[in-house]
A = this chain, B = another copy of it.
Amino acid sequence: MGESVRQEKGSSQTLKAVLGVRDLVFSGTIAPGERLSEISVSEHLGISRTPIRAALARLEQEGILEAIPSGGYSVRQFSVADVADAIELRGVLEGTAARLAAERGITPARQAALRHLVQQLDATVAGPVDGMDLDGYMAFNAQFHDMLGDLSGSRIVQRELERVMQLPFSGPSAFLNAQTSVPAFRASLVYGQMQHRAIAHAIEMREGARAEAVTREHARLARINLDFVLKDPALMERVPGLVLVSN
């Protein structure tokens, strides 16, 4: 063994361990609530216990693991209410980012980038109903939401925003995968895209309250999708982090 390459989290062992444990959790190999033994994980991934330990601590901060008082970690359990709250929280933070962007103003360069991104989203949504480029939409959508953090002009807000979106089911693209086959889904996308445009417009116009309100409501689209997905167990499996949700 031994291709330690440094770069803090850029490579090797600890990163491998983080990714490995994430997969172990999201693949459902380890049930929610189940204890996570350092040794078994170490043997399973073929990595020494030290990086495993670091990875576990990191994943606890990330929110998918929980520290057991007597030592060790277990897979965190989420309720449906928790998922709804996480979505609401993302909306609150994204809304704050949008408001700050509007209140403080953004540079012409960023304004141009924002407009360009909205146009790209427009073009994707305007595509054919069946053969829509969903992957492309998801990528642009993720870019849009990342950009909100940038535009806020606040490291602090951006950091917390990224933190909250680490929870797998609270990301802006979390429920897109599940709905590729649903017809009603398209209406949702079109509505969402109108909100994207409204957000961009509000930021340009320096309308802080509007930017915040629309961005919050935009996040709540995910809550509607959540309710929809919960009715169909087959769809649930397509949403990345939903294995952690219990009742």
Contacts and interface: CB of A to CB of B under 8 A. Distances in A.
A70 B160 contact: no
Contact of A89 (B61, B67, B86, B96): B96
A63 B158 CA distance: 13
Nearest to A67: B8
B156 A85 contact: yes
A92 B86 contact: no
B7 A160 contact: no
B89 A157 contact: yes
B156 A89 contact: yes
A219 to B, nearest CB: 12
A154 interface: yes
A85 B155 contact: yes
A88 B8 CA distance: 31
Contacts of A7: 69-71
Contact of A67 (B9, B82, B96): B9
Nearest to A95: B92
A159 B57 CA distance: 16
Contact of A160 (B6, B100, B154, B164): B164
Contacts of A235: none
17 contacts: A7-B69, A7-B71, A8-B69, A54-B57, A57-B57, A57-B58, A58-B61, A61-B61, A63-B159, A85-B154, A85-B155, A86-B156, A89-B156, A89-B160, A92-B92, A160-B160, A163-B163
Given A7-B70, A89-B96, A89-B154, 15 more contacts: A6-B70, A7-B71, A8-B68, A8-B69, A8-B70, A10-B69, A57-B57, A57-B58, A58-B61, A61-B61, A81-B154, A82-B154, A88-B100, A89-B156, A160-B163
